[in-house]
């Protein structure tokens, strides 16, 4: 899952990014509004964390413009506990909000919920092909036993599971699983898929030649 954080306060940004990367999200950042909007419009993020008071362009304007083209889930970070800000954020197309200062564990829980709802799968567990995927604990179990997956393998399974039945192109997977700072190798995806099949069964992920991957 790939997340964009638009926040100009360096310490807060660093804390948010660290917490998200610890959960193995691919994270991009912007510290200024125009750059933030550009990135938000350029990539298909799974969620965006959006500060309101920003240099260049404020969060309200970013949200207004973004909603003309994209439905990316947005979590607004408001500077104070102002009901007017929350109402304005939700009316303006935000999906949720957090008031600063906030607890990073709560932020992570809200991000997980946003991603699930954005994929149209509001429940925190997905069962498919004999496996149970726990989106909160970020684990996959089979017959009650946890299957050891690397963070990247888990991220790949989670993305395909949230979009099950759809053929997902390699490009889309790279966009969602790797951040702007990640070094990617073209054959890495095949390696991950191969390892997942060894652990969860060869049929768990189907290959659609020339199109991408799919969990039926």
User: Exposure of 165 by Cβ count < 10 A (0-12 exposed, 13-18 middle, 19+ buried)?
Assistant: exposed
Please pick, from the candidates 8, 35, 41, 182, the single residue that binds Ca ion as defined by CB under 5 A.
8
Binding flag, residue 172, Ca ion (CB under 5 A):
no
Give the SS3 label for residue 136: coil
The stretch among 45-53, 59-67, 156-164, 172-180 that binds Ca ion (CB under 5 A) is 45-53
For the CB of residue 9, give the shortest distance to Ca ion in the complex, in Å. 5
Longest pairwise C-alpha distance within the chain: 53
Binding flag, residue 134, Ca ion (CB under 5 A):
no
DSSP-derived letter for residue 168 is B
Q: Quote the CA–CA distance of 52 and 94 in Å, as a whole number.
A: 11
For 141-157, letters b (16+ CB in 10 Å) and e give eeeeeebebeebbbbbb
Binding flag, residue 98, Ca ion (CB under 5 A):
no
Binding flag, residue 41, Ca ion (CB under 5 A):
no
Q: Which two tokens stand for residue 101?
A: 């200062």
Size of the site for Ca ion (CB under 5 A): 3
Please pick, from the candidates 51, 95, 153, 158, the single residue that binds Ca ion as defined by CB under 5 A.
51
Binding flag, residue 85, Ca ion (CB under 5 A):
no
Cβ-based neighbour number of residue 59 at 10 Å: 26
The stretch among 48-56, 129-137, 164-172, 175-183 that binds Ca ion (CB under 5 A) is 48-56
Binding flag, residue 158, Ca ion (CB under 5 A):
no
Q: Residue 50 or 111: which CB sits closer to Ca ion?
A: 50
Give yes or no for a contact between 118 and 48, defined as CB atoms under 8 angstroms apart.
no
Q: Residue 8 or 35: which CB sits closer to Ca ion?
A: 8
Interface with Ca ion (CB under 5 A): 8, 51, 53
């Amino acid at each position: 899952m790939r997340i964009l954080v638009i926040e100009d306060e360096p310490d807060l940004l660093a804390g948010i990014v660290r917490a998200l990367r610890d959960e193995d999200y691919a994270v991009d950042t912007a510290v200024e509004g125009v750059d933030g909007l550009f990135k938000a419009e350029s990539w298909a993020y799974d969620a965006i964390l959006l500060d309101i008071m920003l240099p260049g362009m404020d969060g309200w304007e970013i949200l207004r413009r973004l909603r003309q083209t994209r439905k990316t889930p947005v979590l607004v970070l408001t500077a104070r506990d102002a009901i007017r800000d929350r109402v304005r954020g939700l009316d303006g197309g935000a999906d949720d909000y957090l008031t600063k200062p906030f607890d990073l564990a709560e932020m992570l829980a809200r991000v997980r919920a946003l991603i699930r709802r954005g994929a149209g799968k509001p429940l925190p567990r997905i069962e498919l092909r004999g496996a149970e995927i726990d989106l909160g604990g970020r684990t996959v179990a089979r017959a009650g036993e946890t299957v050891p997956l690397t963070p990247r393998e888990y991220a790949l399974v989670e993305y395909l599971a949230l979009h099950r039945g759809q053929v997902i192109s390699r490009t889309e997977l790279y966009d969602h699983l790797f951040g702007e700072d990640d070094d990617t190798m073209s054959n890495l995806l095949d390696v991950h898929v191969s390892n997942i099949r060894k652990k969860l069964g060869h049929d768990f992920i189907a290959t659609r030649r020339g199109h991408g991957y799919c969990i039926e």
